Amino acid sequence: MIWESWGAFWAMGGRGFFVWGSYGALLVAVIAELFVLRGARKRAIDSVQSDSVQ
């Protein structure tokens, strides 16, 4: 391992805020997109099903 410890890994040479702030934003964006994708699919299916009943 190139890091002396996990502490050194998370510290990122004192730049942890910038590195993890970037990766954290990506993680949040991906999770948010997955939720939106699932929600949109569910709404589309629900609306077709309610149309079929009428």
Partner 1 sequence: MARTEQQSNDRFQGRWFWRYASPAAFYPVAGRIEKLAWLIAILLAIVGLYIGFFRAPTDAQQGEVYRVIYIHVPAAWMAMVIYLAMAFWSATGLVLGTRLSFMMSHALAPTGAIMAVIALWTGALWGRPTWGTYWVWDARLTSTLILFFLYVGYMALAASFDDKRKGDRASALIALVGAVNVPIIYFSVNWWNTLHQGSSVRPGSSSMATIMLTAMMIMTFAFWAYCVAAAMHRLRTQIIERESRAQWVKELVK
Q: State the Cα angle at 40 between 39 and 41, rounded to 5°.
A: 90
Q: Which is nearer to partner 1, 5 or 18 (CB)?
A: 18
Tokens 């510290």 sit at which residue?
A: 11
The distance of closest approach from Cβ of residue 23 to partner 1 in the complex, given in angstroms and rounded to an integer, is: 6
**16-35: contacts with partner 1 (CB under 8 A):** 17-19, 21-23, 25-26, 29-30, 33
Residues lying near partner 1 in the complex (CB under 8 A):
1-3, 9, 12-15, 17-19, 21-23, 25-26, 29-30, 33, 36-37, 40-41, 44-45, 47-49, 51-52
